[in-house]
Amino acid sequence: MSAPTISPEWLQRAAALASTKNDATLADIATLVDIFWIGGTKAGALLGEAIVVCNPALTEDFAFHVKQRGGMLAKGRLLGIQFQELFGAKNLFFENAKHANAMALKLASGIMSAGYGLEAETATNQLFPVLPNSVIADLQRQFAFYVWRTVDDDHSVIRLVTSWATQEGQVDAFLARLAQR
């Protein structure tokens, strides 16, 4: 296996790790970096991040430094229960991310089938469709999303993000509304 291609923002994102475009595993990351974190909320946790220290030299007084700077919660071990469940037998961390990615790919496919383009290929749970401003205004009456940037006087790029909680019916409703335009 060749060395995986990773970027810092991908280290914590379940959607990036579960992407079909990714060839890095958590085990790979652990061999390539001294420390990384795993974001919980985007993977289905109520709150929190898990810090993974791979370099033993960094573990000395680590808890003291986190506590000294206000980063350690009282009873923080309760946050760990979420990660135990996310990485448990059901592998929810990756299953939830795969669901988010599948919903994004369904959106991307439907948007392109409706005759619109994407600013970039969709590899994770984020996509950036290029739509006419009139279509955007109509969609905003029914759906909440962010206008990423203006392309020209008539078109803009919007940012759509799916998650572990995105229901397929929501995706279908968005695509049905888009198809009416």
Which tokens is 18 given? 């579960």
6 pLDDT band, cuts 50/70/90, is very low
DSSP string, the chain: -PPP---GGGTT-HHHHT-TT----HHHHHHH-SEEEEESGGGT-SS-EEEEE--GGG-TTHHHHHHHTT-PPTTTHHHHHHHHHHTSTT-HHHHHHHHHHHHHHHHHHHHHHTT-EESS---SSEE-EEEEHHHHHHHHTT---EEEEE-SSSEEEEEEE--TT--HHHHHHHHHHHHT-
User: What are the pLDDT digits (tens) for 13-45?
Assistant: 789 889 999 998 889 999 999 998 888 888 899
* pLDDT of amino acid 62: 85
Between residues 105 and 73, the one the model is more confident about: 105
Domains of the chain with CATH codes: 8-92 (no CATH), 98-179 (3.90.1150.10)
The Cα–Cα gap between 108 and 122 comes to 7
* pLDDT of amino acid 2: 47
95 pLDDT band, cuts 50/70/90, is very high
User: What are the pLDDT digits (tens) for 101-160?
Assistant: 999 999 999 999 999 999 999 999 999 999 999 999 999 999 999 999 999 999 999 999
Which tokens is 87 given? 């990485």
Please say if the pLDDT value at position 58 is more than 60.
yes
Is residue 23 a contact partner of residue 16, using CB atoms and an 8 Å limit?
no
For the entire predicted model, the pTM comes to: 0.84
Backbone φ, ψ for residue 130 (5° rounding): -105, 115
Which tokens is 180 given? 């009416």
Is residue 135 a contact partner of residue 157, using CB atoms and an 8 Å limit?
no
Please say if the pLDDT value at position 48 is more than 90.
no
* pLDDT of amino acid 73: 74
Between residues 103 and 78, the one the model is more confident about: 103
* pLDDT of amino acid 68: 84
* 108 Cα distance to chain centroid: 15
